[in-house]
Chains A and B, each alone.
Chain A
Amino acid sequence: DIQMSQSPSSLSASVGDRVTITCRASQSIGVALGWYQQKPGKAPNLLIYAASSLQSGVPSRFSGSGSGTDFTLTVSSLQAEDFATYYCQQTYSTPLTFGGGTKVEIK
């Protein structure tokens, strides 16, 4: 199974900050990587697929990059509605696996 790890597990930031979250796969997955945002009590929402493609309707301040084993999600200017938990997911092979999550909190 492919293990996914995220760092940091949590971070504090202010509105307007640039935020970067890292995801690492235990083996090369090409660009088979997605990012999700989840708010408390809600289902996750797909932000990025294929490592760098922006899902329809997602603000352009979200971007993804990387390939192979190392990936990043960047929020260029954090907005109030972006405080949430973010998960990466590999879709290279079954079982599909997620990272442990990164909680973005208000500083």
Chain B
Amino acid sequence: EVQLVESGGGLVQPGGSLRLSCAVSGFTFSDYWMSWVRQAPGKGLEWVAKIKPDGRDTYYVDSVKGRFTISRDNAKNSLSLQTNSLRTEDTAVYFCAREEIGSYFGYWGQGALVAVSS
């Protein structure tokens, strides 16, 4: 069974940092592109970042470029999102998601809440 489990969310002050993790199981992690998608409270979905299976290529939405870093450890079946210089508008539930062929998100984690507030 494919499973994705996020951790590392919490309350942080503006300008602070958090590292989100996503532990995966049930599939060959190193075969898949992976993404982070977020959803602000009561709002729609926003794709944040994606990473190639070998970790060598990464892509970001403009609003997080230079502040967030996506990475992966294929030996540990783990995906990460380092979030720095957090802003109130980064408050959201962050989902990790597995990309299927064509960049559709076929499997999702349960989400981790990041709340940025003073």
Give residues in A with beta carbon < 8 Å to B.
Answer: 1, 32, 34, 36, 38, 42-46, 49-50, 55, 87, 89, 91, 94-101
Contact = CB atoms under 8 A, between A and B. Distances in A.
Contact of A49 (B47, B62, B97, B102): B102
B59 A98 contact: no
Interface in B86-118: 95, 97, 100, 102-106, 108-111
A80 B59 CA distance: 39
B102 A43 contact: no
Given A32-B103, A95-B62, 19 more contacts: A1-B62, A34-B104, A38-B45, A42-B110, A43-B108, A43-B109, A43-B110, A45-B108, A46-B104, A55-B106, A89-B104, A89-B105, A91-B102, A96-B35, A96-B103, A98-B46, A98-B47, A101-B44, A101-B45
Contacts, number: 59
A83 B103 CA distance: 26
Nearest to A32: B102
Contacts of A55: 106
Nearest to B63: A95
Nearest to A92: B103
A91 B104 contact: yes
A94 B59 contact: yes
Interface of B: 35, 44-47, 50, 59-62, 95, 97, 100, 102-106, 108-111
Nearest to A31: B102
Overall SS of chain A's interface: loop
A94 B45 contact: no
B45 A87 contact: yes
Given A36-B105, A44-B105, A94-B50, A87 B111 contact: no
B61 to A, nearest CB: 5
Most buried by A among B35, B97, B105, B111: B105
B102 A44 contact: no
Contacts of A98: 44-47
